[in-house]
Every structure is written in C-alpha cells, then in structure tokens.
C-alpha cells in the first residue's frame, strides 16, 4: 500500500474478502449450533435443510475468494429468509424465526451489506424487502389460522429458548451492522475531509486549506491577540530539469521526500502546504517571531541543499529558493503572499538556493 493509499484510507471492510469472510464464519457457526437444536428436537426436515445451509455457507466462503461477491451477498440474504420461513413452518411460529425477517428488512437498508451500486441492484433490494414484508404477513396469518403443520413443532420449553435466541441474535446482528455502518460512515467522512484539505501526493495541506489558515490568523491578529504571522513561499530550483532528466516519477519522489522533511523539521514551528506544482507555502507558528521564522527558513534551505535525495535510484542534490513576508496591520492575505512571492522571484533571479526576507 502506497503512502497516499494509507493516508486516505483503504476500502470499506465489506468491500474486501475479509469482511464477507467474517460474515460467512458467523452464519456458519449459527447453523452448526442450530443443527444440534434440530437433532435434539427430532425435527428431521430442519436437520436436512440446515445441512444444506451449512454446505451453502461453506461454498459461499470459497466463492468469496473470487470476484463474485455479489452472489455471496444475495446467497446469504436469501438463505436467511428461506431458513426463517422453513423454521417457522416446521418448528413452529412461536420459535421466533420470524425475527430474522425483521432483521433482513433492516439489513437491506444498510448498503454495507447489500451493494446498491445501480438501479438494477436497488430494484432487486426493493423486491427483496417487499417479499420479506409479504412473507412475514403470510406467516402470521397462517399461524393464527392453524394453517402451518404441527408434526415437528418444538415443545413449549424449546420454543421459548429458541424464541429468545432468535430474537437476541437477529437484533444483535442488526445493531452490530448499524454500529459498524455508523463507524464506517464516520471514517469515510474523515477521509473526505482529509481529501478536501490535503494534497494527494505529499499528504501536506493543500492551497485551499492553507488560505483558510492564513485568513484565520489575520482575523486573530485583527482582534488584538499577540503573536506574529510569518509566511514563506518555497520553490524547488530547476524542478523541470529533474522531471525532464530523470522522469516524473523521480520528481514525485523528490516532492514526497521534501514533504516528509518539512513535517519533521517544522514540527511545532511551522506548517507547510503544497501551493502548486513544485511550490510550497509555509505558515509560521503565531508565537514565532518573524526574525526566528526567517532563521528557520535559512536553516531549512541549508538542510535541503546538503541532503542527498534518492529519486528513481539516482542520488540528486536539490536546492530551493524561498521568499518570506510577515503581516503588517491593515494588510490582506493577498498583500502578504504578494510580498513573499516578489521576494521568491528575487531569490530566483539572483542565483537561487537562498532566502530573501
């Protein structure tokens, strides 16, 4: 996994084989336990049906290792529904298998469980939910009118235990999935926030976010708070030549290595954003004086120039030019950036690899 993939987060667990694999194991364990119950209750039809369910989950477990995860999802959903219906028919309505039909309706609205990527899949989910509702009503109707077979019905004691187990497991499954769904949505929102505020390649703040920080700092100063606002615009010298000579992959490696250096060198002293291309914007800490900030920039300039960078298996010397500026009362962020930009231009025009403050 690359730095960018790890920074922005991987796939949702239900989009991976591991996520579905855990579900298959969970439902397989439930059916192994049910087999003991069916044997103990002498419910021969459910013994046979449950063996079929066990074999199905074993098959789905291995099918999950292929690209056919959609079949795994729908195979699971229909198996639970059919098992709930047949359990109610043969073991008796009072065993509480109908609770799983409630759970299935709830699961259908959790897109972590049923992929709803397109109109067809959403239509399938709708048909499934409607089917569940109809089946639930019919089971209740048949039960109340004595239209369900009673030959294999569980004893009242077993039915009470099964009622409690089915209610607990089905409710627990829904609650667990909703908790996980809430966690995944929060994680996804955090990922979106990072994507909105950071540069994909380097993981540094992006231009939009840094401008917001600049403006917040100016508002702070205008409200009478103490401190200073110091900024710098940094540009990599002859970056185009690096790309042309060694390739764009080498250029990207240089940008990433510089970003890592900025993070380690600037911790607690300044923040860095990728301003665009090979340019970076730097915002000094509010309690760092402009003189101290400029000294930090000179130190950073020297550190970069004396570091051997490895890019695409080539050792390169990289230098940067830096222009700095700080806030004076009445200025806007545009004014400060222009001052820093003008000084950067001066540094580039007078030999590069220097700080103009």
CATH code of the domain containing 241: 3.30.70.270
> What pLDDT is attached to residue 141?
95
Same domain for 182 and 75: yes
Banded model confidence at residue 16, pLDDT cuts 50, 70, 90: low
pLDDT digits (tens, 9 = 90+) for 48-70: 999 999 999 999 999 988 878 78
Domain boundary among 167, 195, 223: 195
Residues 37 and 124 in one domain: yes
Q: Mark whether 248 and 304 lie in a shared domain.
A: yes
- Looking at the structure, tell me whether residues 178 and 302 fall in a common domain: no
What mean pLDDT, rounded, does the chain reach? Answer: 87
Residue 149 confidence (pLDDT): 92
**Do 104 and 30 share a structural domain?**
yes
Give the residue from 147, 169, 195 where a domain finishes.
195
The better pLDDT of the pair 104, 135 is held by 135
Name the band, by pLDDT with cuts 50, 70 and 90, for residue 17.
low
Average pLDDT over residues 212-233: 87
CA–CA distance, 14 with 40 (Å, rounded to integer): 35
Q: Is 200 a domain residue?
A: no
| From 159-168, 174-183, 302-311, the region with the lowest mean pLDDT | 174-183
Which domain-ending residue is among 157, 172, 195?
195
Q: Is 58 a member of any domain?
A: yes
Residue 210 sits in the same domain as residue 171: no
Based on the fold, state whether residues 275 and 229 are members of the same structural domain. yes
Asked whether residue 185 falls in the same domain as residue 36, the answer is yes
Q: Is residue 150 part of a domain?
A: yes
Confidence of residue 10 (pLDDT cuts 50, 70, 90): very low
Residue 13: predicted pLDDT: 43
Same domain, 127 and 250: no
Question: Is the pLDDT score of 20 beyond 80?
Answer: no
Specify the number of domains making up the chain: 2
Regarding whether 218 and 149 lie in a shared domain, the answer is: no
Tokens, residue 230? 């110091």
- Answer whether residue 165 is part of any domain: yes
Q: Give pLDDT, residue 286.
A: 86
Q: Are residues 189 and 222 in the same domain?
A: no
Report percent pLDDT > 70 for the chain.
Answer: 92
Instruction: Express as a percent the part of the chain with pLDDT over 90.
Output: 59
- Range of 145's domain? 3-195
Note whether residue 275 is domain-resident: yes
* Structure confidence at residue 8 as a pLDDT band (50, 70, 90): very low
274-326: per-residue pLDDT in tens?
Answer: 999 999 999 999 889 999 999 999 999 999 999 999 888 888 899 999 999 99
**321 in the same domain as 233:** yes
**Worst-scoring range by mean pLDDT, 89-103, 114-128, 331-345?**
114-128
Residue 112 has pLDDT above 50, yes or no: no
Asked if the structure places residue 28 within a domain, the reply is yes
Is residue 163's pLDDT more than 80?
yes
């Amino acid at each position: 996994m690359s730095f960018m993939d790890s920074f922005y987060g991987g796939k949702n667990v239900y989009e991976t084989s591991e996520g579905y694999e855990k579900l298959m194991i969970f439902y397989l364990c439930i059916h192994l336990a049910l087999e003991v119950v069916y044997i103990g209750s002498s419910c021969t039809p459910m013994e046979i049906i449950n063996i079929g369910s066990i074999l199905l989950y074993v098959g789905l477990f291995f099918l999950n290792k292929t690209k056919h995860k959609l079949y795994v999802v729908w195979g699971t959903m229909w198996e639970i529904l059919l098992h709930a219906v047949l359990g109610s028919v043969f073991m008796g309505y009072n065993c509480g298998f109908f609770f799983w039909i409630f759970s299935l309706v709830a699961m259908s609205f959790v897109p972590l469980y049923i992929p709803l990527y397109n109109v067809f899949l959403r239509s399938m989910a709708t048909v499934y939910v409607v089917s569940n509702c109809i089946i639930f009503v019919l089971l209740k109707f048949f039960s109340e009118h004595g239209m369900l077979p009673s030959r294999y019905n569980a004893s009242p004691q077993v039915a009470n235990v099964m009622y409690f187990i089915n209610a607990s497991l089905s409710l627990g499954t829904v609650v667990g999935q909703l908790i996980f769904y809430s966690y995944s949505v929060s994680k996804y929102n955090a990922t979106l926030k990072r994507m909105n505020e950071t540069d994909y390649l380097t993981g540094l703040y992006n231009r939009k976010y840094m401008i917001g920080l600049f403006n917040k700092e100016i508002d702070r100063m205008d409200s009478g708070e103490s401190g200073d606002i110091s900024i710098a615009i940094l540009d990599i010298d002859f970056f185009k030549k690096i790309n042309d000579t060694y390739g764009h992959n080498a250029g990207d490696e240089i940008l990433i290595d510089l970003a890592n250096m900025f993070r380690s060198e600037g911790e607690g002293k300044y923040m860095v954003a990728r301003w665009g291309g090979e340019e970076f914007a730097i915002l000094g800490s509010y309690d760092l004086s402009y003189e101290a900030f400029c000294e930090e920039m000179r130190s950073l300039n020297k550190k970069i120039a004396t570091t051997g960078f490895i890019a695409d298996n080539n050792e390169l010397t990289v230098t940067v030019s830096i222009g700095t500026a700080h806030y004076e009362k009445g200025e806007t962020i545009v004014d400060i950036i222009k001052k820093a930009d003008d000084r950067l231009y001066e540094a580039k025009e007078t030999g590069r690899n220097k700080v103009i403050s």
